Amino acid sequence: MTATTTAPVLILLGPPGAGKGTQARMLEEDFGLIQLSTGDMLRAAVAAGSDAGRAAKAVMEAGGLVSDDIVTAILAERMAQPDTAKGVILDGYPRTDVQAESLGDILARMGRSVTAAISLEVDDDAMVGRIAGRYTCAACGEGYHDNFKQPSHAGVCDKCGGTAMKRRADDKAETVRDRLMAYHAQTAPLIAYYEGRGLLTRIDAMDDIAAVRTALAAIVHKATA
Ligand code: AMP
């Protein structure tokens, strides 16, 4: 018999730039949960030159959504790893109603279900500026921003001391606009999908990072109490 777990399955919803990745990393630190970013998994597949990566590359560079089949296969494989029993934060999945249904099926087969979906609510106009200046430490993934969060010593990661920084190919202003359009057309309807199931909480994510972290922690405590 497969062991089941009551560890939480949290979904972060919100447009590119809302802070899903930043907050998911903090939830990892605060609660020992596992961040599952389909964007990171796809970028790794592109870098590895796998079949999925080759199929996804051009779509990602254009700011569109990769096919449901490819992304769901990657997510299902990752969910099957034993560490997900600690509880997971889904960052960037589901992004379509088909993916939301698939997620429900994957979890049901594991004896699990969605614990809570959290919508990070932001103004689109601010997102292009937030995304256009961002970069991360290549070694540990810590996030920085040209205008909002520089490392204390230029070019040196505060967290791990790494000196290689990287910027995402799809963080250019033109591509960000296409990513925002894809979000509103295909992903924003999931807010109503989870609201209808009594699973949704909204957070004002225009607030600073620490305030959003506190609000999220309160939701996670409540959802896991
Ligand atoms: P992200 O890192 O979440 O901003 O994702 C970067 C890009 O990866 C997106 O713009 C999409 O092209 C692709 N992507 C990530 N997650 C998904 C998903 N769940 N469904 C379709 N495409 C995705």
Summarize pLDDT for 105-116 with one digit per residue, the tens: 999 999 999 999
Question: Which residues lie below 8 Å from residue 216, measured CB to CB, with a gap of 6+?
Answer: 23, 26, 27, 118, 203
DSSP lists the bridge partners of residue 89 as 10, 35
Q: Which residues are catalytic?
A: 20, 95, 134, 168, 179
Residue 223 confidence class, pLDDT cut points 50, 70, 90: confident
Residue 2 confidence class, pLDDT cut points 50, 70, 90: very low
What are the tens digits of pLDDT across the range 145-161? 998 889 999 999 999 99
Q: How far is ligand 1, taken at its centre, from the CA of residue 3, in Å?
A: 31
The pLDDT score that the predictor gives to residue 5 is 63
Q: How far apart are CA 143 and CA 31, in angstroms?
A: 19
Tell me if the pTM is above 0.85.
yes
The pLDDT score that the predictor gives to residue 14 is 96
Q: Kindly give the interhelix angle for 68-79 and 38-48, rounded to the nearest 10 degrees.
A: 100
The pLDDT score that the predictor gives to residue 91 is 97
Residue 176 has pLDDT above 70, yes or no: yes
**pLDDT (average), residues 15-34:** 93
The pLDDT score that the predictor gives to residue 132 is 87
Residue 35 has pLDDT above 50, yes or no: yes
Q: How far is ligand 1, taken at its centre, from the CA of residue 89, in Å?
A: 15
Answer yes or no: is the C-beta of 183 below 6 A from any ligand 1 atom: no
Percent of the chain with pLDDT over 70: 98
Instruction: Give the nearest ligand 1 atom to 20 CA.
Output: 3
What are the tens digits of pLDDT across the range 37-63? 999 999 999 999 999 999 999 999 999
The pLDDT score that the predictor gives to residue 124 is 87
The pLDDT score that the predictor gives to residue 4 is 55
Answer yes or no: is the C-beta of 24 below 6 A from any ligand 1 atom: no
CB–CB of 1/188 below 8 Å? no
Which residue's C-alpha comes closest to atom 12 of ligand 1? 60
CB–CB of 82/1 below 8 Å? no
Question: Which residue do the tokens 């990566």 mark?
Answer: 53
Mode of pairing for the β-strands spanning 165-166 and 134-137: antiparallel
Q: How far is ligand 1, taken at its centre, from the CA of residue 39, in Å?
A: 5
The pLDDT score that the predictor gives to residue 129 is 87
